[in-house]
Amino acid sequence: MKPTQQLHNIGQRLWLDNISRELLTSGTLRRYIDELSVTGLTSNPTIFDNAISKGAFYDESIRQKILAGKSGEALFLELALEDVTQAADLFRPIHDATGGIDGWVSLEVSPLLANDTAGTIEAAIQLYARANRPNLFIKIPGTRAGISAIEKVIFAGVPVNVTLLFSREHYIAAAEAYMRGIERRIASGLNPDVNSVASIFVSRWDAAVKEKIQPDLSNRLGIAIAMRTYKAYRDVLASPRWQTLANCGARPQRLLWASTGTKDPDASDILYVEAPTAPDTINTLPEKTLLAFADHGKVNGVLPVDGGPAESVLAEFTEKGINDETLAADLQREGTEAFAKSWNDLMACIKAKSDLLTKGNSSMPAHGPAR
């Protein structure tokens, strides 16, 4: 049995952290679904920047949109919605077969709205309506403004993938925002069945401290944070508050491991797949990491629900001067800034492509930041 199927069998879902028109039209995504137990997909501005800037897969669609008077962000959102709705349709049989638990795709609101609650709410509701797919998550960052938006977007009935979470405290804030939205729906006589996932970024912790620690602590911080957060996740699901909502028909906001590609060339290329194995969670993988795990991954047990050695490991980092609360805030801010830069790069890419195509030149040199 393939290791990807083994993970699926213990209750962890594998989603692909990538989307491109080539991936969709070549049959590659279909193959990953059929052969590697992939049951969902996530996207972000960097992914779209890489997809659109490389090759000519989007050129004809861009030409048509230019002729229709579209440019900039409006043009990009049409391209993104074309890809995301095609992917959603591909995953729809899984979504239907699992009663809406699985088979999801994610599309992010503009990261330029990260500190704009009202703008985020409006964009999320509009994107979900335009896509018109029941298995679409709208990604909203877990910034202070984003957390305020999440409650209102959930209340509006829009499924949400809370992104850019880095710590137990970030996760708890997202979980509470989700529950407040569900509680408001119940109080208003609305259906509480609105899905959500909370995305914890893992590998960036280890990249952030690599130059500040001794080798014996390398690549241990991200997993310790994951263990601590998984305990908090289980505590939320066991709480009387959640049980009340579940009894009314609400679904758990599942924990999702993001940023699971290994950044340290000296570490295992599947470190952040094998280590955070746990039922009722999701791991969204870069394509390279997915293929590596399918080739030589192993399932060696699951995360302990009590957090295991997380606190003792984190204490070692504290002794070395690493303040995880401060670092979590820094990582979220840096992640928000990185996605904003990718968004601006994406808009520049769209403009450059549009300028070339209107001149009759369908070629364009590769562009975009490395992931």
**How does pLDDT run across 158-171, given as a tens digit for each residue?**
999 999 999 999 99
Confidence class for position 366, pLDDT limits 50, 70, 90: very low
Average pLDDT over residues 28-54: 95
pLDDT at 276: 97
Whether 370 shows a pLDDT value over 70: the answer reads: no
**How does pLDDT run across 121-164, given as a tens digit for each residue?**
999 999 999 999 999 999 999 999 999 999 999 999 999 999 99
Q: Is residue 140 part of a domain?
A: yes
Q: Is residue 21 part of a domain?
A: yes
Q: Is residue 272 part of a domain?
A: yes
Q: Is residue 141 part of a domain?
A: yes
Whether 277 shows a pLDDT value over 80: the answer reads: yes
Average pLDDT over residues 174-179: 98
- The catalytic residues are 139
Q: Are strands 104-108 and 196-201 parallel, antiparallel or unpaired?
A: unpaired
**% of the chain residues with pLDDT over 70:** 97
pLDDT at 359: 82
Residue 45 sits in which domain range? Answer: 3-356
Find all residues with CB under 8 Å of 76, minimum gap 6, and list them: 48, 52, 346, 347, 350
> 168: domain CATH number?
3.20.20.70
Confidence class for position 371, pLDDT limits 50, 70, 90: very low
Confidence class for position 231, pLDDT limits 50, 70, 90: very high
pTM for the full predicted model: 0.94
Q: Is residue 362 part of a domain?
A: no
Whether 369 shows a pLDDT value over 50: the answer reads: no
**How does pLDDT run across 79-119, given as a tens digit for each residue?**
999 999 999 999 999 999 999 999 999 999 999 999 999 99
Average pLDDT over residues 237-247: 98
The residue type at 154: I
pLDDT at 358: 87
The C-alpha atoms of residue 66 and residue 264 are separated, in whole angstroms, by: 42
Q: Which ranges of 239-323 does DSSP label H, i.e. alpha helix?
A: 240-247, 271-274, 287-296, 310-319
Task: Fill in the DSSP letter of residue 217.
Answer: G
Whether 270 shows a pLDDT value over 90: the answer reads: yes
The burial of 189, by beta-carbon neighbours within 10 Å (0-12 exposed, 13-18 middle, 19 or more buried), is given as exposed
Whether 367 shows a pLDDT value over 70: the answer reads: no
**How does pLDDT run across 332-356, given as a tens digit for each residue?**
999 999 999 999 999 999 999 899 8
**How does pLDDT run across 279-297, given as a tens digit for each residue?**
999 999 999 999 999 999 9
| Cα-Cα-Cα-Cα dihedral sign, residues 130, 252, 91, 343 | positive
Q: Is residue 348 part of a domain?
A: yes
What region does 137 belong to: left with phi over 0, alpha with psi -120 to 50, or beta?
beta
Average pLDDT over residues 236-255: 98
Q: Is residue 369 part of a domain?
A: no
**How does pLDDT run across 298-336, given as a tens digit for each residue?**
998 999 999 999 999 999 999 999 999 999 999 999 999
Could you tell me where the beta strands, DSSP code E, fall in the chain?
A: 12-17, 38-42, 104-108, 136-141, 160-165, 196-201, 254-258, 281-285
Question: Looking at the 3D structure of the chain, how many domains does it have?
Answer: 1
**How does pLDDT run across 4-25, given as a tens digit for each residue?**
999 999 999 999 999 999 999 9
